Copies of this chain bind each other. A is one copy, B any other.
Amino acid sequence: MDPLTEALLMFAGRRDHLLEVIEPALARGDVVLCDRFTDATFAYQGFGREFDCVALQSLESLVQRTPSLPAPKIRQPDVTLWFDVDPAVAASRLAGVRVPDRFEAQPQEFFARVSKGYAWRMQQYRARFARINAEQGLEKVWQEVEAALRQRGFLP
């Protein structure tokens, strides 16, 4: 599929998710936890598929505008946890669990680019981005997550 067609479909899904699920939840005062958000779009479409990041930025600022924030502010996560793991380690972990989907089935060079995409976003959004070393065991990973949330005032 053409990467822009794919990006438009993803952003249509994101817009729907934002207005139908996330904004109402935030309005109720709920905590919203997303598996992936637009940082993943930059990592996978922008860097992984080497698609124009300027086009993605213009879609991001269009789609993440919301009536609950004064323009030009857009909805962004308060915290982004980047679970960074070597593609080979990720592949071997995944192999034990399920058949890879069409993103997961990409070659390892793809995931090396994806990782650079997350690093690029982290440079732009230092305050909310926490890189977690996800090659460690579960307990250590959790400790890093807790530390990242505590540091940003989301845990006592």
- Residues of chain A whose beta carbon lies under 8 Å from any beta carbon of chain B: 1-2, 4-5, 8-9, 11-12, 15-16, 19, 55, 58-59, 62-63
Contacts and interface: CB of A to CB of B under 8 A. Distances in A.
Contact of A8 (B1, B2, B8): B8
A16 B15 CA distance: 20
A62 B59 CA distance: 10
A141 to B, nearest CB: 35
- The DSSP consensus for interface residues of chain A is helix
Contacts of A16: 1-2, 5
A1 B16 CA distance: 8
A55 B2 CA distance: 21
A9 B12 CA distance: 6
17 contacts: A1-B16, A2-B15, A4-B62, A5-B15, A5-B16, A5-B19, A8-B8, A8-B9, A8-B12, A8-B63, A9-B9, A9-B12, A12-B12, A55-B62, A58-B58, A58-B62, A59-B62
